[in-house]
Structure 1
Amino acid sequence: MLEIRDASIPKDSLLGDAMPDSSVLDVSDIPRQCGLLSNDEIVITENYTATQLVNLLALGQLTAEQVMRAYLKRAGITHQLTNCATEFLGEEAIKRAKYLDEEFKRQGGPVGALHGLPISLKDSITMRGRRNNAGWIKWNNRIAEDDALILKILHEAGAIFYVRTTQPQSLMHLECSSPIYGTTVNPFNRNLTSGGSTGGEGALLGLKGSPMGIGTDIGGSVRSPAANNGVYGLKPTTFRIPRQGLMGAQMGKESIISTIGPLARSREDINLFMKTILDTEPWLRDPSLVPIPWRSITLDSKNFTVAVMWDDNVVHPHPPITRALHQTVEHLKKAGIRIIDWEPIDHQKGWDLISALYYCNGAEEERNLMTEVNEQPLPLTEWILNQSQVKKRNWTEMNELISQRENYRKHYAHIWNERETSLNCSIDCLLTPVGPSAAPQHGTAKWWGYTSTWNLLDYPAAVFPVMTVDLVKDQVETDYKPRNVLDEENFKLYTSAQSYVNAPIALQVVCRRYNDEKLMKCVEIIERAMGRE
């Protein structure tokens, strides 16, 4: 597998003597400084959002081949610095770009809404004729017979797929390590994780090696990598974006449904992705989807309420996360936005529920996949499979667990409603941490609760970048007393800000179910209050 991957790395991206020593932690400037990218390639990959690229391509001011070659080279450089790719699709991508350029000339305009846009893909997104191991050695040679529906739609819209990216063993880590491809590292501090399970995408977008990537999220797998690498990510409500054609363990499971979501370098690119998919009415091809188009939403920023969850009362956030919340809240207050505190609603119970719902089979299939080929579970795989509520359930017990899930959802909605009534205003969104730390140190990302709760509730959630760790401002909390074992473990990880130097810090916005469009409008209002366009 590694030989196939390494042979596919674009030859014009090989760093050679420009490869930094492993002691160099921050490699974020190397792509532009290594001398391999031309000035035009630097401009193409650094100066334009996906939305801007699509507009320039549609106007004929850039060619698809020009953009594709720039991103293939930068992606190759990024991979050598972070170990983020599983396969480059260079030959096919250039062929596709040339075709799109010819069609542009022939018909006098673009082929689809995403004409010529390079899109990177998490390895688990099914591609016809390509391997799909879903994070397991046993499935290394499993070849997909068809493209996932999401790829068919994006291809029809004019997109170009050019690189597939890393994922962890089992797809169930908030990090990105596997016995197949090793560990993907964070480009801003290689002692830290890129996140997971869409960790390869996170690192790739963080170093501007892609304008838009696609991942999956069942507990934070889009949002964690987006946050750790300083980019944007969206976990949509389930049954809006098609999952048809995906391959993995426990296919057909309905206890907790994963979603496909985008990672991007701007807020507007998230909207572009969602609108492009939903404008095709994908529910006509995938009947499991709800027939809701991407709607235009208007919100009044002067009559707007944000509820801030400072802590989930299970694992306390590190100082950089709390500082990001405080700074953002100050911006919102100055903009005249109403701020209230959000008391979490038994998020420990939420974790007990969702960890059980992940493995109603008692993780039997997952353990068998490893046992059959003598694959050893990595520590974070063992950690999630051994959660206290993971056990094999019979039909009656399964139904009881689903009832508990629905009761938790009903209770959360009831409390939200009660709080709106008592405040005499609507609560437009929640503002929360993405995790209890900035990008975690390798092997330490154990607490999923800040992201997985919203999967359990099936609430859409988006991540946006805020700042980076500050060596002066982010001092250790000396007077904090941990509440439980996991809280204490997380607290002890933060011995100084130096351990997390340069790490991006992001926050998460959450709305009620099927309010995905409102969610992105809330992110816009929050970012505008922060002084961003």
Structure 2
Amino acid sequence: MADWKSRVYEKREQIKNSIPPGWVVPQDALPPNSQLDVTAFPQRCRMLSSKELQITESSVTKLLANLADARWSSVEVTTAFYKRAIIAHQLVNCLTEIFVDQALQRAEELDIYLKEHGHVMGPLHGLPVSLKDQINIRGIDSTMGYASWIGKKADKNSVLVDVLESLGAVPFVKTNVPQTLMWAETFNNIFGRTVNPYNRALTSGGSSGGEGALIAMRGSPLGVGSDIGGSIRIPAAFCGLYGLRPSAGRVPYAGCVNSMEGQDSVLSVLGPMSDSIQGVKAFMQAVIGARSWMLDPLVIPKPWSNDEYNLVNHNNGQNLCFGIMWNDGLVVPQPPIRRGLEIVKQALLDAGHKVIDWQPIKHKEILATVDGIWAAADLEDYEAVLRDLKEPLVSSMTPASVDADGFHPGVEFAADGISAFELWQLQKERRALRTEYLGHWNATASATGTGRPVDAIICPTAAYVAPKHGGNNSAAYTKVWNGLDYTSCTLPVAQADESIDVDTRNFVDEPFLSLNDKTTSEMYDARTSHGAPIAIQLVGRTMEEEAVIKMVEIVEVAIREYVMNKGATPA
């Protein structure tokens, strides 16, 4: 059996050879490494025609409309996004699998179907959709960053891929992840590091970091990531996108590869990422409408509810009351995030909604319980994959830990864990914490003035905008909602501005909440953060996907009108 490095070199060459030569930007035409913001490069590089630029700059809503009336063919749309995805890959290293012929054949079949039948195959007809590497497509690798899994091609599609194809979508690329998926940044020994298009010195987040970077470059209109502790929301936030973490059981997961399979307490979920909330809605409405509970036994048979989307249980969307969590009691966010929260608060007040402070309870305990459940056998799980080729376990996301060949040497580790009884106690504790948090939420009815509890929580997605590579050392602001299984969605608010986002925290009157709070405060550099997307997170209750999507739309409109009317964002 070849050693793991030999397999990696072969895989890298395979990916390089899968790119049509005419779609490769010449090396001397690429921006220099010193150019950090590369988001505008696809528009200027002359690799895309004016029509291809028009297509790839269009919203999901416009794409679906133009595909449905045959104004644009699926072959045209898929080709345009494929070419732009290849450009993006050369700039931010976001792809793992490229299968042009297969995708274009699928697109052509859809064009023929539309012509012959006079109607679309489904609500996502002709739309290219990118997929996180772990989502199986028949005949294609799902390495998940493990050299040991190179060449283990999937023998069948994951359920979600079958569902997407039944809806008329065109799966066209797979995107980069960290080895094991259990990182909030994106690097592995096969494909290397994915960087942030807004500033290549910063992380794109993880573990769906390839998706985040690709969609931010408009190399895909709609992508699918997974989230067990923030892996959709963190890259969505760092890359200025919308990313929905549904509750467990709303989107089919069966047939994907994963870490910690069999750990059924804090479940990983699949969810959409897009540059618009309309893209997120289109995905959720279509996938839920496909009744995938007939294909995946863990999917809850809950059809899409227009009543829930129209906020019937939330005063029909009028005079809502939001709770803003300024910090989680553990870490105070850095200045750009604090400004983002203030923008949202003022925008909602101006739009006629109410805003009250949200008091977090037991976040430290919830996070410790989730970590304990994961740690029950996580190292044993990783070791089971790595031992065949004596492949190293990636133990750091810092660039300094990677050698000249792009490899992380890994660390020696010994699998440990806890007894089944000890795991049961952690699961029992999580259940008690969920019950306590539910009561805490319900009790806010006495403070909202609406007769209802808080309609949703507004909070940070992370304590900072995208940090330097290796600097994303916490997922606390997202992971807590996984522990509670609350539906949550990121939305972009603004961009960091070094002239506005100065650190005015008074450390005499506001002592550090924790060591991590001190570290987070000390790492803030306004110049480094300048231009990075500012995003926040809207959190609803369990199974409130429709309501969360609608409330994100309401917040988005409020922000847009606030910025338009005020002409400036508050410090």
TM-score by length of 2: 0.89
Equivalence for 1:298: 310
Q: What displacement does 1:381 show?
A: 7.7
Q: Which of 534, 558, 561 matches 1:529?
A: 558
Question: What's the counterpart of residue 431 of structure 1?
Answer: 458
Q: Distance in 2 between matches of 1:439 and 1:226?
A: 10
Q: Residue 450 of structure 1: CA displacement?
A: 0.4
Residue 130 of structure 2: aligned partner: 120
Report Cα offsets for 1:224-277 as digits up to 9, x if no partner.
111111111100010111111112232222021010000011111111101111
Higher mean displacement: 102-111 or 367-376:
367-376
* Residue equivalent to 2:222: 212
Give the aligned partner of residue 238 of structure 1: 248
CA positional deviation for 1:478: 5.6
Tell whether the 8 Å contact from 2:443 to 2:453 is kept in structure 1 after alignment. no
| Structure 1 contact 231–266 (Cα < 8 Å) conserved | yes
User: Post-superposition shift, 1:55?
Assistant: 1.1
1:482 Cα shift?
2.7
| Structure 2 CA distance for aligned equivalents of residues 515 and 250 of structure 1 | 26
User: Match for residue 404 of structure 2?
Assistant: none
Q: 8 Å contact 2:126–2:168 — kept in the other structure?
A: yes
- The match for 1:22 is 33
SS in 1 for 2:225: strand
1:157-205 per-position Cα deviation (integer Å, ceiling 9, x unaligned): 1111111110001101111011111110000000001110000010000
| Selected match of 1:310 from 326, 348, 352 | 326
Paired position in structure 2 for 1:488: 518
Tell me if structure 1 keeps the 8 A contact 2:310–2:317: no
Residue ranges of structure 1 left out of the alignment (5+ in a row): none
- DSSP 3-state at the match of 2:560: coil
Number of paired residues?
A: 526
Moved more, 29-38 or 366-375: 366-375
Amino acid at match of 1:30: F
Q: Corresponding residue for 1:325?
A: 341
One-letter amino acid of the counterpart of residue 469, structure 1: A
Residue identity opposite 1:437 in structure 2: Y
Q: How does 1:239-278 map to 2 (within 5 A)?
A: 239-278=249-288
CA contact (8 A) 1:177 1:183 kept: yes
Confirm whether residue 191 of structure 1 aligns to residue 216 of structure 2. Answer: no
Query: Aligned partners of 1:301, 1:49: CA distance in 2, in Å?
Result: 25
Q: 1:93 aligns with which of 99, 103, 121?
A: 103
Q: CA RMSD in A?
A: 1.9
**Matched residues in 1 for 2:538 and 2:505: separation?**
29
Distance of 2:506 and 2:455 partners within structure 1:
34
Matched, 1:31 2:61: no
Shift of residue 421, structure 1, vs aligned partner: 3.3
How many Å apart are 1:375 and its aligned residue? 2.9
2:474 pairs with 442, 447, 451, which one? 447
Q: How does 1:27-176 map to 2 (within 5 A)?
A: 27-46=38-57, 48-176=58-186
Q: 1:380 and 1:455 mapped to 2: Cα distance? A: 24
How far apart in 1 are the matches of 2:515 and 2:393? 23
| Mean Cα deviation higher: 284-293 or 330-339 | 284-293
**Matched residue of 2:513: which SS?**
coil
- Does the CA contact (< 8 Å) of 1:356 and 1:391 recur in 2? no
Mapped pair 1:410 → 2:435: yes
Percent of aligned pairs with the same amino acid: 36
Partner of 1:458: 485
AA of the residue aligned to 2:540: C
| Partner AA of 1:418 in structure 2 | A
Match of residue 498, structure 1, among 527, 541, 559: 527
Q: Distance in 1 between matches of 2:282 and 2:392?
A: 41
Per mean C-alpha deviation after superposition, the further-off stretch among 420-429 and 209-218 is 420-429
Instruction: Give the match for residue 380 of structure 2.
Output: 364
1:352 corresponds to which letter in structure 2? A
State the alpha-carbon separation in 2 of the partners of residues 491 and 391 from structure 1.
Answer: 33
Q: Does 1:392 align with 2:417?
A: yes
TM-fit CA distance, 1:93: 1.2
**Alpha-carbon separation, structure 1, partners of 2:237 and 2:378:** 31
Distance 1:333 1:55 in 2: 35
Structure 1 partner of 2:359: 343
Contact 1:362 1:393 in 2 (8 A): no
- Counterpart CA distance in 2 for 1:380 and 1:333 is 43
Alpha-carbon distance in 1 for matches of 2:443, 2:80? 53
- Equivalent pair of 2:145/2:189 in contact (CA under 8 Å): no
Q: Which residue identity is paired with 1:104?
A: L
Any conservation in 2 of the 1:169–1:381 contact (CA below 8 Å)?
Answer: no
Partner secondary structure for residue 524 of structure 1: helix
Contact 1:4–1:87 (Cα < 8 Å) also in 2: no
Q: Distance in 1 between matches of 2:385 and 2:32?
A: 37
Secondary structure at 2:223's aligned position in 1? strand
Q: Distance in 2 between matches of 1:475 and 1:422?
A: 33
The change in CA–CA distance for 1:362 and 1:103 in structure 2 (over 3 A counts) is: closer
CA–CA distance in structure 2, aligned partners of residues 379 and 342 of structure 1 = 36
CA contact (8 A) 2:336 2:534 kept: yes
Which stretch shifts more, 1-10 or 20-29? 1-10
- Alignment partners' CA distance in 2, 1:362 and 1:284: 31
Q: Tell me, in whole angstroms, the C-alpha distance in 2 between the residues paired with 1:52 and 1:285.
A: 30
Q: Following the alignment from structure 1 to structure 2, what is the Cα–Cα distance between the partners of residues 483 and 341? A: 18
The answer on whether the counterparts of 2:181 and 2:259 sit within 8 Å (CA) in structure 1 is: no
| TM-aligned CA deviation for residue 355 of structure 1 | 0.9
Relative to structure 1, is the Cα distance of residues 372 and 287 closer, same or farther in structure 2, using a 3 angstrom cutoff?
A: closer
* Distance (Å, rounded) in 1 between the aligned partners of 2:259 and 2:482: 18
Q: Counterpart in 2 of 1:511?
A: 540
In the TM superposition, what is the alpha-carbon distance from 1:142 to its structure 2 partner? 2.1
Paired AA for residue 63 in structure 2: L
The separation in 1 between residues aligned to 2:291 and 2:326, in whole angstroms, is 38
SS at match of 1:190: strand
Amino acid at match of 1:446: N
Cα distance between partner residues in 2 of 1:405 and 1:66 = 49
**Could you say if the C-alpha distance between residues 525 and 391 of structure 1 is closer, same or farther in structure 2, counting changes exceeding 3 Å?**
farther
What is the rounded CA distance, in whole Å, between the counterparts of 1:166 and 1:209 in structure 2? 14
SS of 2:180's equivalent? helix
Deviating more after overlay: 102-111 vs 15-24: 102-111
The residue type equivalent to 1:292 in the other structure is K
CA distance in 2, matches of 1:360, 1:173: 17
Question: 2:77 & 2:504 partners in 1: Cα distance?
Answer: 47
2:546 and 2:20 map into 1 onto residues whose CA distance is: 38
Equivalent position to 2:296, from 275, 278, 286:
286
Distance, in Å, in 2 between the alignment partners of 1:110 and 1:410 is: 45
